[in-house]
Chain A
Amino acid sequence: MAVLTREAPAGVSAERNARQRRKEVKQWLAVLPYLGPSLFLFAIFVFVPLIRTVVMSTYATTPIGEMTKFVGTKWFARLASSNVYLNSLKVTVRFVLYTVPGVLALSLLLATLGNLRLRGISFFRTAFAITLAVSGATAALIFMFLYHPVIGTFNHLMELIGVGRVPWLTDARYALVSVAIPRIWLQTGFATVVLLAGMQGISDELYEAARIDGAGFWQCWKNITLPLVSPSLFFLLVVVTLNAFQTFTEVNVLTSGGPIDSTQVVVHEIYRSFYFNGQYGLASAQALILFVIILGLTILQFGVVEKRVHYT
């Protein structure tokens, strides 16, 4: 539309410009009450802080976050060679790899079960979705008890099935899995609900037609259900991945990043750097790197994976 107005005859353009300008200003004034509040909040709590993060990542700071002197890329150089930070990136990726497939596979299974036409199925659906009512902190606390080395239920169950006691949270080999389990448990409820909704949106006629053609349950599932819930699956993939990258609660409650930093995910490392160690500049650099990674990953998901999604 802007292009159109520009093609006005040259003679009257000055006057038109003025009128146009007045009109635009008037429009903006009319729009401002609608957009202003949101823009204002975004400016204070998103854009300005983002810029400040960038600035702070190039400064030395006092232990309470006052910038003292410009240090250039010192923190980034430190991070590039820092085992601690590289480790936290690796841990985060591993956490993502544990939780995302876990949540997707489990919720697909549960949603398929919940989608059966059986008497009393709504009871089971409710049971599958119940973790919607549980928060990350409470889930972590419950699992903390289940994992308890002495009086925990899981170790008892492990002994019953002959595996023996497992040092869930105290052995670097198991700790990350142990932290991932409550997350999978928690997110499976939400994911199942999303997938169930997707499955119920598939019309019965499709299945009927397939059955007439002699397709069994498995074939129906593979050829009808799965492709048709792929938009929901894609949505879950994006959301669960992003959430996993930003994990903090479970780690903070269960392990505080230990043992041997085996559960020190990036966000917890950022938290430790600025909040506990008072290294605000370093933490800002860590946060910026995480930002770039998440941005790249989201673009990748939309660019590559979404192409394979079957939209009706």
Chain B
Amino acid sequence: MKRTLSVVVSILVVASMLLTSCGAPAPTAVPPTAVPATKVPATAVPATPVPPTPVPPKEPVKIDFWFAMSGKAGETVQELVKRFNESQSEVIVTATYQGSYDDAITKLKAGLQSKDVPAVTQMYDLGTRLLIDLKVVKPVQDFIDRDKYDIGDVEPAVRNYYSVNGVLYPMPFNSSNPVLYYNKTMFKEAGLDPEKPPRTWAELTEAARKLVKKDASGKTIQYGCSFAIYGWFVEQFIAVQGGYYVNNENGRADRATAATFNGPEGVKLLEWWKSLNDEGICINLGRKTADTKKAFDSGVVAMTLDSTAGVRDRIDAAVGKFDVGVGFLPRSSEADFAKSGTIIGGAAVWILNLRPEEEQEAAWKFVQFLNTAESQAFWHINTGYYPVNAKGYNHPDDIAWRAKYPQFQVAIDQLHAAPFNNYTAGGLTGVFPEARQTVEAAVEEYFAGGITAQQALDKAAASVTQAILDYNDTVK
């Protein structure tokens, strides 16, 4: 009996600890939400007449901005933020680098629990469905409608890409598409026309054969090409052939319920890609585009694929070594050009509704700044992301720059060449990041041998379909 009593006592003690463990944190949970409110003593201001009053709140509103750009692009983002902060006194933006796009979306999901999220964040297209499903986005459409903001200059394809059911969710910011980078100097040496990059897979294979160089011992010292095993390229290659990544017309007609990237388009792509490596004219350097870029910069490979966002980096890295050429993403055949085109790549800036209204308003101001002609031209010149609005494209700086470096024109032409349909709209599903990684693993598995392209893609598609179903189950 005594024993049972002491057991009871100890259970009580532990239980009381458990209880306090659940109860105690509550007070600490308050400050984070309370702080932003107290931080902005200007809450009284909105009550005073809003319309023409030029009286700004005394305290500038501080907002966080997450971005996911590295290298030159990262520096340029920070420069833009600096310019914005200096251009006015109402808003102070603090920019935080969050790693890759994948890291950034993961961090954002993590922050949702504690509302520890920025007022505005850069987020890639893969996150569109998820962010909308989680109901954490303040659509910029709301601000556009309220302020009668002129969105007409924004590239229609880009605008539509980030709209779901007619509502524009984020403000387009950095848009890109994949292009072929080639070493003009090597093209000349190999007897190829440095002004005519290959347009089709067959032409690329031909060019690669000519570009391979071996030393006396038979070791390859220069490869024709190297493409990183990057899921984005697969998505693009499927789209340009006129294929869907997920069903229900890429999840645009209705919520996607199955993966369809294992169709003939995907299989054809993988078989061609592998043949390049197997023939020894191209080399597989793994998933990281940084590694293929490095190989291109140091003259180990003559052609590579990357986003147009890297134009500036490639040109800068090649100074004094070789000339960089840029061409369209090669197609399976000339016929593809009429049928379809590339998907909008890159990212946009999203305003989150979890932060106080003042911060959302401040974010809106920042977002407008990013969309100005000056910002977009500056952005284009320094990175290669094409301007998302015509004003930026027609900005004198931008025109002058393109005259000097025609490489910056290619992505824009490719964008305008793409017809507007649900192939080029790209897939929409909440598990896109996972899908991309699964596809990358499938490509690797196929390259390693012992499995056909169809089998590898079927396996990946089955796994992604399951993930889509699990996902749809929880967000409906």
Contact = CB atoms under 8 A, between A and B. Distances in A.
A258 B430 contact: no
Contacts of B470: 60, 279
A17 B2 contact: yes
Interface string B419-444: 00000000000110110010011001
B448 A260 contact: yes
B106 A275 contact: yes
A258 B441 contact: yes
Q: How large is the interface on B (under 10, 10 to 19, 20 to 34, 35 or more residues)?
A: 35 or more
Contacts of B106: 275-276
Determine chain B's interface SS by DSSP, over half rule: helix
B473 A60 contact: yes
B284 interface: yes
Given A39-B14, A84-B463, A172-B444, A150 B295 contact: yes
Contacts of A48: 18, 21
A68 to B, nearest CB: 6
Contact of B18 (A43, A150, A275, A276): A43
A277 B130 CA distance: 11
Contact of B474 (A68, A169, A172): A68
Interface string A56-76: 000011111100100000000
Interface string B453-476: 000000000010001001101110
A124 interface: no
B9 interface: yes
A64 B445 contact: no
A279 B431 CA distance: 10
B417 interface: no
Interface stretch (B51-59, B107-115, B322-330): B107-115
B6 interface: yes
A261 B441 contact: yes
A150 B109 contact: no
Interface in A152-202: 164, 167, 169-173
Nearest to B473: A60
A149 B223 CA distance: 13
Interface string B1-39: 111011001100110011011000000000000000000
Interface string B265-296: 00000000000000000001111000100110
Nearest to A68: B474
Output the residue of B102, B229, B286, B300 with the most chain A CB within 10 A.
Answer: B286
B403 interface: no
B148 interface: no
Interface in A260-278: 260-261, 275-278
Contact of A275 (B9, B110, B133, B441): B110
A121 interface: no
A64 B102 CA distance: 15
Contact of B285 (A149, A151, A172, A173): A149
A25 B445 CA distance: 65
B286 A169 contact: yes
A44 interface: yes
Contacts of A6: 2
A278 B21 contact: no
A12 to B, nearest CB: 14
Interface in B105-160: 106, 109-110, 112-113, 130, 133-134
B394 interface: no
A71 to B, nearest CB: 9
B444 A63 contact: no
A32 interface: yes
Nearest to B15: A43
A269 to B, nearest CB: 12
Interface in B283-335: 284-287, 291, 294-295, 298, 300
Given A28-B9, A63-B430, A172-B448, A150 B102 contact: no
A151 B14 contact: no
20 contacts: A21-B5, A25-B9, A40-B21, A60-B473, A60-B474, A64-B112, A84-B463, A150-B285, A167-B285, A169-B286, A170-B285, A170-B287, A171-B448, A172-B445, A258-B441, A260-B445, A260-B448, A275-B110, A278-B471, A279-B470
Interface of B: 1-3, 5-6, 9-10, 13-14, 17-18, 20-21, 102, 106, 109-110, 112-113, 130, 133-134, 219, 229, 284-287, 291, 294-295, 298, 300, 430-431, 433-434, 437, 440-441, 444-445, 448, 463, 467, 470-471, 473-475
Identify the 5 closest CB pairs spanning chains A and B, nearest first.
A170-B286, A259-B444, A260-B444, A44-B21, A260-B445
